Structure 1
């Protein structure tokens, strides 16, 4: 009798645990392949690479319905390189994203470690570039200004008004906030995203004040940039445009332009894009760093293709070429000078 009572209590406990944990999900993806390339003034390379089209990652996410239109959710996500099992995006656990969210009639508030509005992760709203922040030399983040992931951050998103949402992110210390306020580097981001009538577009204004940050033993000035981009869906064919202007006093001013298109092809999806970046260094920085050129520029073209073997597994392939000029003409990096081709698999779970 006691054995039956004990067994019944165990089963009841398991059932209650299963119910409580039913809204918690383990998820992730593995991206691994082979990539060959040759940079200017360097030997050709052939490597097994992880995260070329999308960083390998795993995470835990869950939600709780609080009633009356309110919901609490969380995301904990860590990146890794599948070819050697190493952790990426810094030391520690869940360095890609660590967020607690509250959703309600007012919108959404999120706190923790998250991506800047113009970068990646669930709080980002970058639009207009088919390759996003991945795909080798075609990544929008190559050469362009971005603020990556932010510690000590809070993000607010308004409810949707006819396809329009407003976004704001603030970081009280992009790395740490253990000093007085004036010695922490702060991030401010404001943006708008519109998704309706076949249009998917955004405009983002971002600032990092660089308080407490030094460049070549001198205090850095604030870095400002604005990014605008979008796509239009023509029956599955999505051409896109993107532009960014960045400026930092006593350092540089920069323009970046991109045109890309995503289209269905042979049961899969093809990407094609070209971008051009022009940077002009301030005289102060040129003298300080003893640069030989006051300007730098690079243009890049890339093509990618994804074929779905299933709902969770894609074959991917890529080819890209970059050509730098002036300040980057001798840069021994395939992102600025050289070619790159790759083939691999991405599996989501």
Structure 2
């Protein structure tokens, strides 16, 4: 009997002995010098960016463990920071970009914790400029910060199709310090609506083209940052976009509708079209045009061009130039974290360097 029990114990323990696990340290440090004119206080600005360069600076830890049978457990802890000062971004949180656990299976991935939501995934393939200093993020600072606290997320891949969703019990626990912090922690006993958020995604990615659509609804909370200072107030984003690949070129275009329903209703639309082209494996050109319309108030148009040169697999130097055209009451800055005098057009430039590890 003892031999049989020992044999069963060995069989149960065998899969555990073959489990593979790994932890990876990774990151991006990206900074340079930027310039823009017609600042809100008058004159021009020359200095180092505080929010982003070509990509936001970050470092993180990613771990995975193979559980066998197609199942994996994992975690991500990711911190964003400003290289110019060393300060933490994302509301001053140590792991403000991501802090989550996940379980992957043949049926998809379930993620728990602070995570990127489906608005981020919906934009990632078609937005050729991305979360750069000169980008559509100037029109809506939520777009490069589309993350949710206290969230349950799912992402499944079925051939070229992706289906995903997140549900947050309290979408943003950080105080109002920076564009990604709105002081809406939620999870209030007796209030099932305060600071809740849900997002959904349907997408297709093929060798030559892809399309995506996402829907994102945020609820407000008592004491949260305006305009969502009441649980009955909502902020909704709809994203519809796509891209086409031909040789070394990629063209992306899309539409973003935002509706804020609260004390005052506001509706805006963003249309964008852009392209990436690799002249050589080391040298690429990016461009994008975007149009922003805030109903019954103002409109703005952004033109961006960017050059990138890879000094190595990990180090890139780049230059970005952009021009923002504002209507009479428009006050959209050309650069992330910048300011502009109302009704003024604005020229922005940046020279930077990025290293990945």
2:12 is the counterpart of 1:44:
no
What is the count of residue pairs matched by the alignment?
312
Q: What's 1:23 paired with?
A: 22
Q: How does 1:104-123 map to 2 (within 5 A)?
A: 104-119=105-120
* SS at 1:118 equivalent: helix
CA distance in 1, matches of 2:205, 2:47: 39
Q: How does 1:181-220 map to 2 (within 5 A)?
A: 181-182=191-192, 184-212=194-222, 213=224, 215=226, 219=230
Q: What's 2:175 paired with?
A: none
Correspondent of 1:172 among 169, 173, 180: 169
* SS at 1:110 equivalent: strand
* Change in CA separation of 1:130 and 1:105 when aligned onto 2, cut-off 3 Å: same
Provide the aligned C-alpha RMSD in A: 2.5
Q: Is the CA contact (8 Å cut-off) linking 2:193 and 2:219 kept in structure 1?
A: no
Q: What's 1:290 paired with?
A: none
Q: In the TM superposition, what whole-angstrom CA distance separates every residue of 1:198-246 from its partner, at most 9, and x where no partner exists?
A: 1133111111122435747973622222101111111011111110112
CA distance in 1, matches of 2:345, 2:270: 17
CA distance in 2, matches of 1:136, 1:73: 31
CA distance in 1, matches of 2:355, 2:155: 30
Compute the TM-score of the two structures, normalised by the length of structure 1: 0.82
Q: What's 2:159 paired with?
A: 162
Correspondent of 2:347 among 327, 339, 342: 339
Compute the TM-score of the two structures, normalised by the length of structure 2: 0.80
* Aligned-residue offset at 1:68: 1.1
* Change in CA separation of 1:271 and 1:63 when aligned onto 2, cut-off 3 Å: same
Q: What's 2:284 paired with?
A: 269
Q: What's 2:100 paired with?
A: 99
* SS at 1:136 equivalent: coil
CA distance in 2, matches of 1:73, 1:270: 36
CA distance in 2, matches of 1:311, 1:330: 35
Q: Is the CA contact (8 Å cut-off) linking 2:219 and 2:228 kept in structure 1?
A: no
Q: What's 1:71 paired with?
A: 72
Q: Is the CA contact (8 Å cut-off) linking 1:38 and 1:334 kept in structure 2?
A: no
* Change in CA separation of 1:21 and 1:45 when aligned onto 2, cut-off 3 Å: farther
Q: What's 2:5 paired with?
A: none
Structure 1: give runs of 5+ residues left out of the alignment: 1-18, 281-293
Q: Is the CA contact (8 Å cut-off) linking 1:274 and 1:302 kept in structure 2?
A: yes
* Aligned-residue offset at 1:329: 5.5
Out of 310-319 and 175-184, give the one that drifted further.
175-184
2:239 is the counterpart of 1:239:
no
Q: In the TM superposition, what whole-angstrom CA distance separates every residue of 1:95-133 from its partner, at most 9, and x where no partner exists?
A: 1100111000221001111123223xxx6653322112x
